[in-house]
Structure 1
Amino acid sequence: MAAPQPREFKPDPKYDDYDFPTTAAIPLSGHPGYTTAEQDAQVFQLRSTLEGLGYTERLDTLTLLRFLRARKFNVELSKQMFTDCEKWRKEFAGGVDELVRTFDYTEKPEVFKYYPQYYHKTDKDGRPLYIEQLGKVDLNALAKITSQERMAQNLVVEYEKMADPRLPACSRKAGSLLETSCTIMDLHGVGLGKATSVYGYLQSISGISQNYYPERLGRLYVINAPWGFSTIWGIIKRWLDPVTVQKIHILGSGYQKELLAQIPAENLPKQFGGQCECQGGCALSDAGPWQDPQWAKPPKWAKAKEEKTDAPTIDNTNNPGPTSADGSTGPAAMGAAVDASAPATQPAA
Structure 2
Amino acid sequence: MSAPEETQPVQSKYDDYDFPTTAPEAQSGHPGHTTPEQDQKVEQLRTELEQLGYTERLDTLTLLRFLRARKFDVALSKAMFVESEKWRKEFGTDELPGTFDYKEKAQVFAYYPQYYHKTDKDGRPVYIEKLGKIDLNQMYKITTAERMLQNLVTEYEKLADPRLPACSRKAGKLLETCCTIMDLKGVGITSVPSVYGYVRQASAISQNYYPERLGKLYLINAPWGFSTVFNVVKGFLDPVTVDKIHVLGSGYKKELLDQVPAENLPSEFGGTCQCDGGCELSDMGPWQEAEWAKTPKWALPKEGQKQEEPKNEEPKNEEQNDGKAEEAAQPTA
* Structure-2 separation of matches of 1:201 and 1:47: 33
Cα offsets for 1:226-253 (capped at 9, x unmatched)? 1221222122212211101100111111
Q: Which residue pairs with 1:6 in the alignment?
A: 6
Alpha carbons of 1:175 and 1:165: their partners in 2 closer, same or farther (altered >3 Å)? Answer: same
Q: What is the identity, as a one-letter code, of the residue corresponding to 1:47?
A: R
Q: Which residue pairs with 1:323 in the alignment?
A: none
SS at match of 2:127: strand
Cα offsets for 1:84-134 (capped at 9, x unmatched)? 000000001xx1101222100000010111100000000000000000001
**Structure of greater relative contact order (alpha carbons < 8 Å, 6+ residues apart):** 1
* Structure-1 separation of matches of 2:99 and 2:187: 34
SS at match of 1:307: coil
Identity of aligned residues (%): 68
Instruction: Report how far residue 26 of structure 1 moved.
Output: 1.4
Instruction: Report how far residue 47 of structure 1 moved.
Output: 0.4
SS at match of 1:90: helix
Q: Which residue pairs with 1:115 in the alignment?
A: 112
Q: Contact 1:86–1:313 at 8 Å: present in 2 too?
A: no
- The partner residue of 1:286 within 270, 283, 289 is 283
Alpha carbons of 1:298 and 1:96: their partners in 2 closer, same or farther (altered >3 Å)? Answer: same
SS at match of 1:85: helix
Q: Which residue pairs with 2:26 in the alignment?
A: 27
Q: What is the identity, as a one-letter code, of the residue corresponding to 1:254?
A: G
Q: Which residue pairs with 1:202 in the alignment?
A: 199
TM-score, with length taken from structure 1: 0.88
SS at match of 1:221: strand
* Structure-1 separation of matches of 2:5 and 2:269: 38
* Structure-1 separation of matches of 2:227 and 2:47: 45
* Structure-2 separation of matches of 1:244 and 1:204: 20
Task: Tell me, yes or no, if structure 1 residue 191 matches structure 2 residue 188.
Answer: yes
Q: Which residue pairs with 1:67 in the alignment?
A: 66
Give the gaps of 5 or more residues in structure 1.
315-336
Cα offsets for 1:4-53 (capped at 9, x unmatched)? 443233421x1101000000011110000000000000000000010111
Q: Contact 2:202–2:332 at 8 Å: present in 1 too?
A: no
Q: Which residue pairs with 1:268 in the alignment?
A: 265
Q: Contact 2:56–2:307 at 8 Å: present in 1 too?
A: no
Instruction: Report how far residue 312 of structure 1 moved.
Output: 3.2
* Structure-1 separation of matches of 2:106 and 2:120: 25
SS at match of 1:165: helix
Give the gaps of 5 or more residues in structure 2.
311-322
Instruction: Report how far residue 200 of structure 1 moved.
Output: 4.1
Q: Which residue pairs with 1:127 in the alignment?
A: 124
* Structure-1 separation of matches of 2:326 and 2:230: 16
* Structure-2 separation of matches of 1:340 and 1:36: 25
Task: Tell me, yes or no, if structure 1 residue 45 matches structure 2 residue 41.
Answer: no
Q: Contact 1:118–1:284 at 8 Å: present in 2 too?
A: yes
Instruction: Report how far residue 338 of structure 1 moved.
Output: 6.1
Q: Which residue pairs with 2:331 in the alignment?
A: 345
Q: Which residue pairs with 2:318 in the alignment?
A: none
Q: Which moved more, 1:238-247 or 1:282-291?
A: 238-247
SS at match of 2:192: helix
Instruction: Report how far residue 341 of structure 1 moved.
Output: 4.6
* Structure-1 separation of matches of 2:265 and 2:298: 30
SS at match of 2:157: helix
Alpha carbons of 1:193 and 1:255: their partners in 2 closer, same or farther (altered >3 Å)? Answer: same
Q: Which residue pairs with 1:83 in the alignment?
A: 82
SS at match of 2:262: coil
Q: Give the alignment of 1:118-157 within 5 angstroms.
A: 118-157=115-154
Instruction: Report the count of equivalent residues.
Output: 321
Q: Contact 2:111–2:134 at 8 Å: present in 1 too?
A: yes
Q: What is the identity, as a one-letter code, of the residue corresponding to 1:117?
A: Q
TM-score, with length taken from structure 2: 0.92
* Structure-2 separation of matches of 1:283 and 1:124: 20
Q: Contact 2:117–2:128 at 8 Å: present in 1 too?
A: yes
Q: Contact 1:206–1:344 at 8 Å: present in 2 too?
A: yes
Instruction: Report how far residue 219 of structure 1 moved.
Output: 0.3
* Structure-2 separation of matches of 1:79 and 1:36: 20
Q: Contact 2:19–2:169 at 8 Å: present in 1 too?
A: yes
SS at match of 2:128: strand
Instruction: Report how far residue 146 of structure 1 moved.
Output: 0.2
SS at match of 2:40: helix
SS at match of 2:117: strand
Instruction: Report how far residue 187 of structure 1 moved.
Output: 0.6
Q: Contact 2:179–2:217 at 8 Å: present in 1 too?
A: yes
Q: Which residue pairs with 1:327 in the alignment?
A: none
* Structure-1 separation of matches of 2:142 and 2:325: 30
Q: What is the identity, as a one-letter code, of the residue corresponding to 2:303?
A: E
Q: What is the identity, as a one-letter code, of the residue corresponding to 1:224?
A: N
SS at match of 1:218: strand
